[in-house]
A and B are shown apart, each in its own frame.
Chain A
């Protein structure tokens, strides 16, 4: 409750019991605490798996698209957690999309094989492509990742390989929209929990160490370039899965797979949702794609509204929506009188 004007108050934040007792080691003392921990996860799972039941065909397609962007956003967020600023999620997406497309087009392999192969193969190819620049940091690494998908796009255009500007058409579809829907959403949830678990292990601690103080990690006798390569593999495998999935969902792969959208929207999602938690960038992707769909009604000025919303998000909640929600969930707030 906001206090009366004229008196000096300040906002006090108090950690809830379980949060104050613990940082990462804790014992559950009651069912209430168990509920406290389970509730956010349960709400997420329910929301993700029940929402599709109430959506029409168009809504389902939008949700699939959202899931793809959520995967790319989490992949971007993971690289950020290791201190690598990527402007090129489209590289991962496009490589995965093309591998699945080529395997299906030339060898007629079913999506059952092309998607897993594209996921792992895409991860491997992107890791090799980025291996020479892992020593670069910050903006320099970012510029290379930005250029790479655009370069691959032009190579395909110029050499007319893999269908050239036409792309590859008539690829095998996934059997049914429900499978598409639950495969993509299931993957989003799996990746979310996997990354959140991974970053809290000792291995994840080394990765965060590379972000915070790479010299200190180096002087611990750890080959940070090898670790960065592994991180790139994980991130690009996630992106490549998204690409391979989209190839079969659209039954088409072409140069748009390297489009800048696939690089920029995940970053916007990460910034709106908040980085470092993966849940934040996932939430950001859901918010942004939904927003974009809602604004479809206003026609040409859609992009203006969209940009305005983006600016508002960033100015009002620079920490990100997820960090804000997390804080509200873990802390009480109250107004206390300031002692004069």
Chain B
């Protein structure tokens, strides 16, 4: 890691859709190896912010610096190629194929080839190993099952495996925990903790606050596209403004 500035620096990022200011001058910094949580009520601009960082939307104003390099407005595949990998809230895998085939696409990417020294290796075998790593039981042949037969929890884990397959430096998880049962969640947390221990920097957009607060180092709160709080998990909900955003104001 270079010591010339933060790992990721987002400054005054803004995005407008017609009359709606979806993200309004949001700034934050991220150190390498950190685990940052982004929370906020529905429609507060969390996913838009992710889309801005990963290049799916072009910002109206503001800058994103990644390891000192300006990546504002780059194509999404170029940003992914630099090692910023995101997951999607809605999983749309190849339902008709065996589960492990879903990891072939990231394993086919130029980044993976480059990092493996110009060779792809046996993609099928690597894909099955990766799935086993995120909890697809190999003995019961889960990685080989047709994707449509898998429960939702496995699909979310597959989405996580898809990001790990890219050998990422920064992973942005967009509501990874949504729609999971407590048991599925419990099996998901160790995987994320393992990613953190391996030095992967993580941004996590989440509605499941309890679980997020357990693993996050720092939390940002968005409301109506603006950052209203930034603090360590223990203290972030103490802010009056955050309470208002989540619980509403009293009618007087």
A joins B in a complex: yes
| A interface residue numbers (CB < 8 A to B) | 23-24, 202-203, 205-206, 208-209, 212-213, 215-224
Find chain B residues with CB under 8 A from A209 CB.
Answer: 94, 105
Q: Give complex CA distance A203, B78 in Å.
A: 19
Give how many B residues have a beta carbon under 8 Å from the other chain's beta carbons.
29
- Report the minimum CB–CB distance from B128 to chain A (whole Å): 12
Out of A24, A203, A205, A222, name the residue touching B77 (CB < 8 Å).
Answer: A222
Judged by a CB distance under 8 angstroms, whether B98 is at the interface is: yes
Give B67-86 as 1s and 0s: 1 = Cβ < 8 Å from A's Cβ atoms. Answer: 00000000111101100011
A216 CA to B90 CA, complexed, in Å: 10
Taking A23-B98, A220-B162, A222-B108 as known contacts, 5 extra A-B pairs with beta carbons closer than 8 A to each other, sorted by chain A number, are: A202-B108, A212-B94, A220-B77, A220-B109, A222-B110
Measured in the bound complex, the distance between the Cα atoms of B106 and A202 in whole Å is 11
Check A219 against B108 for contact (C-beta < 8 Å): no
Which has the most chain A C-beta neighbours within 10 Å: B88, B106, B146? B106
- Which residues from chain A contact B108 at a C-beta distance below 8 Å? 202-203, 205-206, 220, 222
Task: Using known A-B contacts A205-B104, A205-B105, A208-B94, determine if residue A219 contacts B54 with beta carbons closer than 8 Å.
Answer: yes
Q: Which of B200-229 contact A (CB under 8 A)?
A: none
B166 and A220 form a contact (CB under 8 A): yes
Question: What is the distance, in angstroms, from B47's C-beta to the closest C-beta of chain A?
Answer: 12
Q: Which residues of B contact A (CB under 8 A)?
A: 54, 56, 75-78, 80-81, 85-86, 88, 92-94, 97-98, 101, 104-106, 108-112, 123, 146, 162, 166
Whether the Cβ atoms of B104 and A202 lie closer than 8 Å is yes
Q: How far is the CA of A22 from the CA of B208 in the complex (A)?
A: 40
Inter-subunit contact A224/B77 (CB<8 Å) = yes
Interface pair A205/B101, CB less than 8 Å apart = yes
Q: Is B105 within 8 A of A223, CB to CB?
A: no
Q: Are A221 and B54 in contact, CB atoms less than 8 angstroms apart?
A: no
Q: Which of A212, A213, A218 contacts B80 (CB 8 A)?
A: A218
Leading 3 A-B pairs by shortest Cβ distance:
A221-B80, A221-B81, A221-B109
Given contacts A221-B81, A222-B77, A224-B77, contact A212 B105 (CB under 8 A): no
Some 8 contacts from A to B, beta carbons below 8 A apart, are A209-B94, A215-B76, A216-B105, A219-B54, A219-B85, A220-B109, A221-B77, A221-B110
Q: Are A219 and B80 in touch, CB under 8 angstroms?
A: yes
| B64 shortest CB reach to chain A, Å | 16
Nearest to B172 among chain A residues (CB) is A219
A115 to chain B, nearest CB (A): 33
Chain A residues closer than 8 Å to B104, beta-carbon distance: 202, 205-206
A218 to B55, CA, bound (A): 10
Q: In the complex, what residues of B have CB within 8 A of residue A215's CB?
A: 56, 76, 88
Cα–Cα distance between A223 and B109 once the two chains are bound (Å): 9
Q: Is the CB of A221 within 8 A of B101?
A: no
Within 8 Å CB of A202, what residues of B?
104, 108, 123
Give the chain B neighbours of A208 by CB distance below 8 A: 94
Closest CB-CB distance, A68 to chain B, in whole Å? 32
Q: Which of B93, B97, B108, B123 has the most CB of A within 10 A?
A: B108
Q: Which residues on the B side are within 8 Å of A24 (C-beta)?
A: 98
- If the complex has contacts A23-B146, A212-B94, are A220 and B88 also in contact, measured as CB distance less than 8 A? no
Measured between beta carbons, the chain B residues less than 8 angstroms from A212 are 92, 94
From known contacts A205-B105, A206-B105, infer whether A220 and B94 are also in contact, taking CB-CB under 8 Å: no
Distance (Å) between the CB of B55 and the closest chain A CB? 8
Closest to A24 in B: B98
Closest to B146 in A: A23
Tell me which of A205, A213, A218, A223 contacts B92 (CB under 8 A).
Answer: A213
Q: Closest B residue to A217 by CB, please name it.
A: B105
Q: Closest approach, in angstroms, between the C-beta of B44 and any C-beta of chain A?
A: 21
Query: Looking across the interface, which residue of chain A has its beta carbon closest to that of B81?
Result: A221
Q: Please name the residue on chain A nearest to B82 by beta carbon.
A: A221
Residues of B within 8 A of A216 (CB): 88, 92, 105, 162
Q: Nearest Cβ distance between residue A13 and chain B, in whole angstroms?
A: 16
A223 to B55, CA, bound (A): 13
**A23-B98, A24-B98 given as contacts; is B92 within 8 A of A220 (CB)?**
no
Q: How far in angstroms is the closest Cβ of chain A from B244? A: 34
Q: Compute how far the CA of A205 lies from the CA of B93 in the bound complex, rounded to whole angstroms.
A: 12
Using CB atoms, name the residue of chain B closest to A205: B104
Q: How far is the CB of A133 from chain B (nearest CB, A)?
A: 17
- Contact partner of A222 among B92, B94, B98, B109, CB < 8 A? B109
Residue in contact with A221 in the complex, picked from B93, B123, B146, B166, CB distance below 8 Å: B166
Chain B residues with CB below 8 A from A213, complex form: 92-93
Residues of B within 8 A of A217 (CB): 105
Q: Which of A24, A208, A222 has the most CB of B within 10 A?
A: A222
Measured between beta carbons, the chain A residues less than 8 angstroms from B166 are 220-221
Q: Which residues of B contact A222 (CB under 8 A)?
A: 77, 105, 108-110
Q: Which residues of B contact A219 (CB under 8 A)?
A: 54, 76-77, 80, 85-86, 88
User: Shortest Cβ distance from A18 into chain B, in angstroms?
Assistant: 16
Distance A218 CA – B111 CA, assembled complex (angstroms):
12
The CA of A224 and the CA of B106, in the complex, are separated in Å by 12
Complex Cα distance, B104 from A212, in Å, reads: 14
CB-CB under 8 A from B85, the residues of chain A are 219-221
Chain A residues in 8 Å Cβ range of B162:
216, 220
